[in-house]
């Protein structure tokens, strides 16, 4: 693999944020290594032999934490030894408020970049708009019913295009070292309100049903999820119901100087592409 000291390494380059970030950086004239198990540059968290060539000579890394918390620090140490001098890590909003044991892989990613000894910035994002049309809640919405234990607490969903644009700015501009930015959409909607917006955009009936945590867990177990996976997802809703993430954050405006994408605009775009038809 050809390396260049001006390269920016994007991990999870085929993921939600990565596949938007790569073209954004390239359109601005930056050299990018788009790394993933099936992408342009092969990178596999479970195959450490794939790590050295990916980081060698790169100047900056966009880090999406691995599922295994033990790997983040090892990878970051290798990257810094190879010459990386800037790290931007994707995280979740509220990681500064909750027990890191609730989300160990994300917490490990934050610890790894903080302790790296080089420039670092953390993006703490609310739930993505694209969770509704790319995975997670897509299938239930197409089936006409989304049932979750939200407690009616609103969420300022954020568009992944905004997350990618923020990441591009942090990777390529100065003045952000040692900061963690909260990133959200412009206003908070309850899940019921969000489903209503998507249903109207799609021109069909889709309903939201509020479940108790116990009933939600029972449905997930009945659908074949493991008890461990159900507990992890349940923790996410525990965090949301606490309400600490409900107020819109100003990270997009602070970094990009513009308002974030509105949920209504996301829904119209996704519906036009047939997301919930």
Whole-angstrom distance, CA of residue 215 vs CA of residue 237: 13
Answer yes or no: are the C-beta atoms of 261 and 129 closer than 8 Å.
Answer: yes
Convert the pLDDT of each residue in 183-226 to its tens digit. Answer: 999 999 999 999 999 999 999 999 999 999 999 999 999 989 89
pLDDT digits (tens, 9 = 90+) for 132-179: 999 889 999 999 999 999 999 999 999 999 999 999 999 999 999 999
Give strand pairing partners of 3: none
- What is the maximum alpha-carbon separation in the chain? 55
CA dihedral of residues 34, 134, 274, 208 (deg, nearest 10):
-160
The torsion angle over the Cα atoms of residues 141, 146, 150 and 155, rounded to 10 degrees, is 20
- CB burial of 115-154 (b: ≥16 within 10 Å; e: otherwise) equals ebebbbbbbbbbbbbbebbeeebbebbbeeebbbbbbebb
* Calpha distance 268→200 (Å, rounded): 9
Q: How confident is the model at residue 100 (pLDDT cuts 50, 70, 90)?
A: confident
Rounded Cα gap, residues 35 and 55, in angstroms = 10
Instruction: Give me the chain's average pLDDT, please.
Output: 95
pTM: 0.94
pLDDT at 9 over 80: yes
Bridge partners, 181 (sequence order): 123
């Amino acid at each position: 693999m050809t390396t260049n000291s001006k390269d920016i390494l994007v991990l999870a380059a085929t993921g939600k944020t990565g596949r938007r970030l790569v073209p954004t950086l390239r359109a601005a004239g930056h050299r990018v290594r788009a790394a993933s198990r099936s992408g342009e540059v092969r990178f596999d968290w479970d195959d450490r032999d794939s790590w050295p060539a990916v980081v060698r000579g790169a100047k900056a890394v966009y880090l999406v934490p691995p599922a295994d918390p033990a790997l983040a620090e090892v990878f970051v140490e290798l990257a810094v030894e190879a010459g990386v001098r800037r790290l931007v890590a994707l995280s979740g909003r509220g990681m500064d408020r909750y027990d890191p044991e609730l989300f160990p892989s994300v917490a490990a990613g934050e610890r790894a970049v903080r302790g790296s000894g080089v420039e670092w910035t953390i993006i703490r994002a609310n739930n993505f708009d694209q969770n509704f049309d790319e995975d997670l809640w897509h299938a239930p919405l197409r089936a006409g019913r989304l049932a979750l234990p939200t407690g009616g607490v609103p969420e300022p969903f954020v568009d992944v295009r905004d997350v990618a644009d923020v990441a591009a700015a942090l990777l390529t501009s100065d003045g952000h070292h040692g900061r963690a930015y909260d990133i959200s959409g412009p206003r908070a909607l309850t899940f019921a309100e969000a489903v209503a917006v998507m249903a109207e955009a799609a021109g069909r009936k889709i309903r939201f049903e509020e479940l108790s945590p116990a009933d939600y867990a029972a449905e997930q177990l009945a659908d074949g999820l493991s008890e461990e996976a159900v507990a992890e997802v349940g923790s996410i809703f525990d965090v949301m119901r606490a309400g600490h993430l409900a107020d819109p954050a100003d990270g997009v405006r602070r970094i990009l100087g513009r308002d974030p994408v509105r949920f209504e605009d996301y829904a119209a775009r996704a519906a036009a592409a047939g997301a919930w038809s």
